[in-house]
Chain A
Amino acid sequence: MITITPNDFLYLGPLGVLTLVGFLLVLAEAFTIGKHRQFLMQLTVAGCVLAMLAAIVTWRQLQPGQTISAFSGMLIADRMSMFLIALFSGTTALVAMLGSAHQSEYGWEVGEFYGLMLLATAGMAMIAMAGDLVTIFIGIETMSLAVYVMTAARRGSRGGSEGAMKYFLMGAFASGFLVYGMALLYGATGSTNLAVIRGVLAGQASSPLTVAAVFLLIVAFGFKVAAIPFHMWAPDAYEGAPTPVTGFMAAAVKTAAFAGMIRVFVFGLGGDVVPFGHIGWSTIFAIMAAITMTVGNIAALRQENVKRMLAYSSIAHAGVLLVGIVTAGIDPAGEGLSAVLFYLLSYSATTVGAFGVMVWIGNRDRERVLISDWYGLGAAKPAAALVMTIFMLSFAGIPPTGGFFAKFILFKSALMAQDGSLLWLVIIGVLNSMISIYYYLKLVMAMYFREATGEFKPLRSGALTFVLVTCGLLVMHMGMMPSRWLGYLGI
């Protein structure tokens, strides 16, 4: 009669910690009044660190390649999911520190912010551990609903509510596609469990119904990762949201969407489901990756607003990550999957750091979001300019930063997949990296070779400094010793 055993709860530790601390924060918000709410941020960080530790402990208990399914296959605990949960928790902790400084400076101390952020992280953990389409759907919705609210959390900001509206409508539209695709997949295979779906689809010519389902899922995930042509919400939502929330969206939410993609496409659907081209659904993703990289980078070239530039740059990075997904799909034995995970790690650290500098540089009177606002930072604040330069180099993929090795490993694994059939995609990717150097260095040039316009009055906050230093060191360390970090993936 009972199908749930105590065993099932054993691997639920990290997810449970995130959820419980999230509940606690929502309660704490309700029972405290006034502006002395620094402890909310501290509680958030403590919860994230605890969840991270739990994920690391669980990670150590699992063998490489071992998968444990819990709750009738609804959740899967393996090393990849634990790695991703640790990554999400770390990102959330750092963003919470940014959020505190930004909130007190710009006067939007919304107490619910932290609780929602942790619950969003719990949704991401669900996606990372998902073994069933239902879990993926619930995880994506938990995360998305919380992030829509966080985008609009700065009350009275017209940009915030407008960005949230566009983000919500496009996100809900994508959810419609997601559910309909899942419904058709359920009809085509008779199950919502990803492992069972894989078993049913393996070794048979795929039915037209499966093809239709996969197309719908591609559209849905295309919206979620902001791949072109489904990207139109991203620049507006990124620009409208408060800067720490933008960092959260660009780093953690994008990573979670890719985790969902890995679960559904790489693990659930195998490589040869869609008879479209010779590499299955990967063909569509390969084309999408090429367009996304190119258009994202070209659009980023002409942006004058740093936030908007980083939004287009994050679209371009989604294109690079899609190359990794294609590689992992057509060559499951290769290094595609670990390349994607390493890229996500380095991209998250860089993104949080870059948005940290953006939070740091502005103040209530002058938010400094345009490139011209960054003129002369190198002379006035050399340390901050150095850190930002590290992040820009990492985004552009220049050694010795983590971004360089992430791109290198990813393109190398793509080259080795299927005897170089992805050569054209790698060439496009490398060309795009060269284009992207131009606009990343534009910001660096602005910092070092222009005269300052007005005195810099950055935010002074210990937490903020900690975030910047941590992210800078992490990015450099990933660039110096990538093999150690690849070892932490353990796949």
Chain B
Amino acid sequence: MTSAFYDLTVSHFLILAAALFMIGVAGVLLRRNAIIVMMSIELMLNAANITILAFSRGFAGEHRAAFQGQTFALIVIAIAAAEAAVGLAIVVTVFRSRRHSDIDRLTLLKN
């Protein structure tokens, strides 16, 4: 136990990222407020980024694979920003037409 506590390995970071990912998924599944759901999605993307960087750290002896990971993570951050902008614009649009942003109360389109 103590060695698992003190001897850090790639796996520590990976499992932390997996936990963060699961928390994000839980947020998407359990919450109804669109903005909180979007934040949970950001958490999932961050978990993916930690995973990429942890693997990249594990590949540090081989420069190509390692830097590939860091550049990939940079691109994920850029795209997450774009996604957040579009998502918030959609939230504003929905809010404008019905004064709330609850997913469960969007029931115009149903069987």
Contacts and interface: CB of A to CB of B under 8 A. Distances in A.
Interface of A: 133-134, 137-138, 141, 145, 148-149, 152, 155-156, 158-159, 161-166, 168-169, 172-173, 175-177, 179-180, 182-184, 186-187, 190-192, 235-236, 239-240, 303, 308
27 contacts: A137-B79, A141-B82, A141-B83, A152-B90, A163-B109, A164-B90, A165-B90, A165-B94, A166-B106, A166-B109, A168-B87, A169-B28, A172-B87, A173-B44, A179-B45, A180-B21, A180-B47, A183-B51, A186-B52, A186-B55, A187-B52, A187-B54, A190-B62, A192-B72, A235-B111, A236-B110, A240-B109
Contacts of B68: 186, 191-192
Interface in B10-47: 14, 21, 24-25, 28, 34, 37-38, 41, 44-45, 47
Contacts of B52: 183, 186-187
Contact of B108 (A155, A158, A172): A158
Nearest to B14: A187
B51 A176 contact: no
Contacts of A158: 97-98, 108
Contacts of B62: 190
Nearest to A173: B28
A195 to B, nearest CB: 14
Most buried by B among A148, A179, A240: A179
Given A161-B93, A183-B49, 16 more contacts: A133-B72, A137-B75, A137-B76, A145-B86, A149-B89, A158-B98, A161-B94, A162-B94, A162-B108, A176-B24, A176-B44, A183-B51, A187-B14, A187-B52, A187-B58, A190-B62
3 cross-chain pairs, A with B, having the tightest CB-CB distances, nearest first: A176-B44, A187-B55, A179-B48
Contacts of B97: 156, 158, 161
Contacts of A240: 108-109
Given A134-B72, A148-B86, A161-B93, A190 B37 contact: no
Nearest to B86: A145
Contacts of A183: 48-49, 51-52, 55
Contacts of B83: 141, 145, 172, 175
A169 B65 contact: no
Given A161-B90, A239-B109, A190 B41 contact: no
Contact of A190 (B14, B49, B59, B91): B59
Interface in B66-101: 68-69, 72, 75-76, 79, 82-83, 86-87, 89-91, 93-94, 96-98
